[in-house]
């Protein structure tokens, strides 16, 4: 089982990264929460990883922090949630907001995460309410998250709901946030992201 990877970040993509360790390139699936905090390509990166073995494949899932990895494991333990859906959940909501939503049994917020319906939300609340809050309690009590990261996740979620694929949505959202002047609120960034996507389609 591979629990940690330290090496050169060869490829940086919203869906997965390639990390070279001693001449071997490992493809690692990452949530958007990790993608936004990755260093530039060609530099060293350290990822906390989870190895997922099936009969036909071996997949690695990586996270910038140990907390994200632990949260991923908790999500995978919920009935009906596999690793891909767990990654999507972490891409559609911050860890702190997820913990708060589960803690207050907020079905509306949880169901708004792409790929998560009401039944899955109910199972998350039922099976994680007692487990997730102790894990994230310090962050929930005094959130210090980057507001721009939350805007990015909200914009990506909206673009996914509009039918754009995850990679295109993440790239457009990140570029839009960099190019908007001053106001980095949701409406400004989503308008810029849609403009960029339209220009790309025309080109």
Instruction: Domain of residue 83: give its range.
Output: 66-141
- How far is residue 192 from each of residues 9, 64, 176, 197, 201, measured CA to CA in Å? 29, 28, 5, 9, 14
Residues of the chain above pLDDT 90, percent: 30
Question: Residue 49: which CATH number?
Answer: 2.40.50.140
pTM over 0.75: no
Number of domains into which the chain is organized: 3
- The two tokens of residue 167 are 């990679």
Looking at residue 141, its pLDDT comes to: 38
Question: Residue 93: which CATH number?
Answer: 1.10.150.20
- Assign 46 a pLDDT band (cuts: 50, 70, 90): very high
- The two tokens of residue 154 are 């909200």
Last residue of a domain, one of 63, 86, 101: 63
Interval 123-152: pLDDT, tens: 999 999 888 766 655 444 334 445 577 788
What count of other Cβ atoms lies within 10 Å of the Cβ of residue 178? Answer: 11
Q: Where are the alpha helices (DSSP H) in 32-183?
A: 32-35, 66-76, 83-92, 95-103, 107-111, 118-141, 147-161, 166-179
- The two tokens of residue 36 are 């936004």
Give the mean model confidence (pLDDT) for residues 150-156.
Answer: 79
């Amino acid at each position: 089982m591979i629990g940690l990877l330290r090496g050169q970040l060869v490829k940086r993509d919203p869906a997965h990264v390639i990390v070279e360790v001693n001449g071997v390139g490992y493809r690692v699936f990452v949530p958007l929460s990790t993608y936004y905090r990755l260093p530039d390509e060609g530099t060293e990166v350290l990822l906390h990883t989870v190895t997922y073995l099936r009969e036909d494949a071996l997949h690695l899932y990586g996270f910038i922090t140990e907390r994200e990895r632990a949260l991923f494991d908790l999500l995978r333990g919920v009935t009906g949630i596999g690793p891909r859906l767990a990654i999507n959940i972490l891409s559609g909501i911050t860890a702190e907001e997820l913990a708060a939503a589960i803690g207050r049994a907020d079905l509306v917020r949880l169901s708004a995460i792409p790929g998560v319906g009401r039944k899955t939300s109910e199972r998350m609340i039922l099976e994680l309410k007692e487990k997730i809050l102790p894990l994230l309690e310090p962050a929930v009590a005094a959130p210090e998250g980057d507001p721009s990261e939350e805007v990015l996740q909200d914009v990506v979620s909206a673009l996914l709901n509009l039918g754009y694929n995850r990679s295109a949505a993440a790239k457009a959202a990140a570029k839009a946030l960099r190019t908007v002047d001053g106001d980095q609120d949701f409406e400004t960034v989503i308008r810029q992201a849609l403009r960029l996507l339209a220009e790309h389609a025309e080109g």
